[in-house]
Amino acid sequence: MYQASVPVFIRGLKVLAALLEKAAAHAEANGIDPAQLVNARLAPDMYPLSGQVQRASDASKFAVQRLSQNEAPKFPDNETTLPQLQQRIADTLAYVQSVPPEQIDGAESRKVALSFGDFKPEFQGDDYLLTFALPNFYFHVTTAYGILRQAGVPIGKMDFLGPYPQQGGSGA
């Protein structure tokens, strides 16, 4: 359970941080107001980039909290700049990395009950991770990627998938 959760979230959060770095560099190099990127969205009723980063943070934070029962920090969702979003990711990483494997291994049979208005799913820990928390997390990281790609930030699939320490070749 630990292997399928904490290192996966760490990796995804680092991917997200690297995407935001490229976004900041792109804005700087092209005289674009970074706020345009922070507020960009794929559809009028979808979250902008800032909201996607906040939800990716929450998806990983709450998953680790629910599985480990280790209280997570509260974040007020008040980030409005790329550096503030980077700090949010760093704070999320600090919490996720602080939870030891022994608090998560064994959580596969722990009951996880969620509540979103009338939608109140109940899961076993392993189903929660595999069919809710991970897809939700990847949804927001991927949507952040899509927003930046659509906005012209020079990123590619390898920015989402890589890097891999095991890789041979040039890593291009």
Which chain residues interact with a copy of itself by CB under 8 A? 3-4, 7-8, 11-12, 42-43, 46, 117-123, 126-127, 130-132, 134-136, 138-139, 142-143, 145-146, 149-150, 152, 157-158, 160-162, 164, 166-172
Nearest approach, Cβ of 111 to a copy of itself (angstroms)? 10
- Nearer of residues 81 and 167 to a copy of itself, judged by Cβ: 167
Nearest approach, Cβ of 95 to a copy of itself (angstroms)? 20
- Nearer of residues 75 and 139 to a copy of itself, judged by Cβ: 139
Nearest approach, Cβ of 87 to a copy of itself (angstroms)? 24
* Cα 71 from Cα 55, distance rounded (Å): 18
- Nearer of residues 32 and 130 to a copy of itself, judged by Cβ: 130
Q: Dihedral sign, CA of 33, 38, 40, 42? A: positive
Q: How many CB atoms lie within 10 A of CB 162?
A: 13
- Nearer of residues 87 and 167 to a copy of itself, judged by Cβ: 167
Nearest approach, Cβ of 143 to a copy of itself (angstroms)? 6
Beta-carbon contacts of 142 under 8 Å, excluding residues fewer than 6 positions away, are 160
**Contact between 112 and 128 (Cβ < 8 Å):** yes
Nearest approach, Cβ of 130 to a copy of itself (angstroms)? 5
Q: How many CB atoms lie within 10 A of CB 58?
A: 19
- Nearer of residues 15 and 72 to a copy of itself, judged by Cβ: 15
Radius of gyration of the chain (CA): 17
Angle between helices 6-30 and 82-98 (to 10 degrees): 170
